[in-house]
Each structure stands twice: as C-alpha cells, then as structure tokens.
Amino acid sequence: MKKLILAAAAIVVVAGSASAADMAVKYRAPVKVCAADWFRGGYIGINGGGVNWTANRTDQDEVLVDTATYVQKKWGGVIGGQIGYNWTTCNTLWGFEVDGDWAYAKATTQLIPNASPLLNLNIESRFDALVTARTRAGIVIDNLLLYVTGGIAAGHFKTTYTNQFLGIVGAVPGFLFQAENREWRWGLAAGFGAEWAWSDRVSIRSEVLYVDFVDREHRFLFAPPATFANFTESDSMWISRIAINWKFGKDAIVAKY
C-alpha cells in the first residue's frame, strides 16, 4: 500500500512540474515585432554634407556690360539639425520633418576679365542658410528604411553687383556703381534617402535633395549718377548629406526570442 501511495505522489509531482514548465514556455512565447517599429515616434538629430549650387543673375538693362544672364556654379557645405515624427504600420512609414542648416557657398563672376585694369565689373553671390519642412514616406526592410521626401524650402542669399572705374590719377576721376541684395527666398524641395537603425534609439541616414527657388526680380538705384537697373535672380541646388538621429519617447523595440 505504501508503494502505491508513493507512486501516485510521484505521478502528481511530475505532472505538476510538466504543467508549470508548459506555462513558463507559454509565458515566453515569441513576440512579433514589425520592422517599421525601429523608426516609430519622435526624433532629433544633426546633419552635414555638401551642396552644388547654381545661381543665375540676369542684367536686364546693360548696367554692367550687356543684357545677359550670368550663370554661377559653386560647391559648398551645409551643417545643421533636424526634428521630426514618424507614424508607421508594420512595414511602411509616414513622417514629417523640419530642418535648418547653416551653409557656405560663394561665387564671384568677373566680367570682361581681359579689359583694362582700370575696370572692375563683377557679380558676387553667396548662399548661407537653408530651412526645409518636408513630409516623407517609405518602406522598412528589417532595420533599413528607404524613403522619398518633399516639401517647401527657404534659402538665404546675398548678391552684390559692382561696376567700378578706378580712374586715372590727375586726369579722370573714378566712380563706383554698386548695389547689394539680401533676402530669404521660398522654393520647393524633393529627394530620397536611406536610414539604418543602429539601435532602438539611434539611426544613421543618407539623403539627396534637389531644391529650386522661385525667381525674383529686383530694381536697384545705382549712384552717382542716378541710374535704375533691373536684375532677375534665380537659384537651385543639389544637396547630399548624412545625419544621425536620436529617437525620444517611450516607443522601444521589444526583443525577439
């Protein structure tokens, strides 16, 4: 009888252990995590890269030399920061981002460079700031986001027009006609990029943007003598930059088992 009681008790203990083990396995069942979860939520970061800038400056009244459009092309650099937010489904992403960059690109066109050294006619253009507000949409494969983006942009430009005659000492006095324009100008931005989630909080991005700004016509008064001159300014650029983002908030990736 004692043997039967001991055998029954052993069976109960073994069954209970098996049941507990089964419950533990069920408790640790794999949790399915969508790929786009790597990028869901708000983020902030820094960026930097290069810019290939094209500036068109048109002299409409032959104040400098001729009625002509002078094309200036220049490479420069950009550096700044961005902030944005992403919404996701399992493998797709929609987001909004605002960024601001300090920039440096300067181009000087010397007109009739083989003329007398007594003449200084030139156009100097400078691009020094960029702000964009863009939406973006993409797909996520594992921890890699591929996206397209588009929105509005604003750039800050400075242009100086110079027509100077240095004069002949003791014979002919010199003169200087000069006008300067500083302004923010609106435009449109579009591009594409790729972003890799290095961890659940940090991601690294590379993107290319094309920005085209609206043409603007300006009228200046050159003095002396009082002479009105009209110029048309047009700017566009390609921007290539890399960025590092840090995701904030409570959204985090649940580990897979």
Q: State pLDDT tens for residues 152-188.
A: 999 999 999 888 777 676 676 766 778 889 999 999 9
CATH class of residue range 36-248: mainly beta
Q: What local confidence, expressed as pLDDT, does residue 202 receive?
A: 96
The rounded radius of gyration (Å) of the Cα atoms in the chain is: 32
Reference 163, options 113, 116, 123, 220; nearest CA is 123
Per-residue DSSP letter, 168: B
Q: What is the mean pLDDT of the chain?
A: 84
At 186, list the tokens: 């609106």
What whole-number distance in Å separates Cα of residue 64 and Cα of residue 68? 10
Which tokens in the block code for residue 228? 């009105």
3-class secondary structure, 116:
coil
pLDDT tens digits for 44-99?
A: 999 999 999 999 999 887 777 778 899 999 999 999 999 999 999 999 999 999 99
* Calpha distance 167→240 (Å, rounded): 46
Q: What is the pLDDT of residues 87-123, one digit of tens each?
A: 999 999 999 999 999 999 999 998 877 666 778 888 9
Could you tell me if 236 and 57 are in contact, meaning their C-beta atoms sit under 8 angstroms apart? Answer: no
Q: What are phi and psi of 237, to 5 degrees?
A: -165, 150
pLDDT of residue 223: 62
Q: Which of 8-17, 39-48, 117-126 has the highest mean pLDDT?
A: 39-48
Using CA atoms, how far residue 251 sits from 7, 34, 38, 82, 135, in Å, is: 52, 13, 9, 19, 21
Task: Report the residue count for the chain.
Answer: 257
Share of the chain above pLDDT 90, in %: 58
- The CA distance from 35 to 160, in Å, is 51
Domains of the chain, residue spans: 1-30, 36-248
Question: Which pTM does this prediction carry?
Answer: 0.79
User: Which residue is listed with tokens 């066109």?
Assistant: 109
Tokens of 180: 């300067």
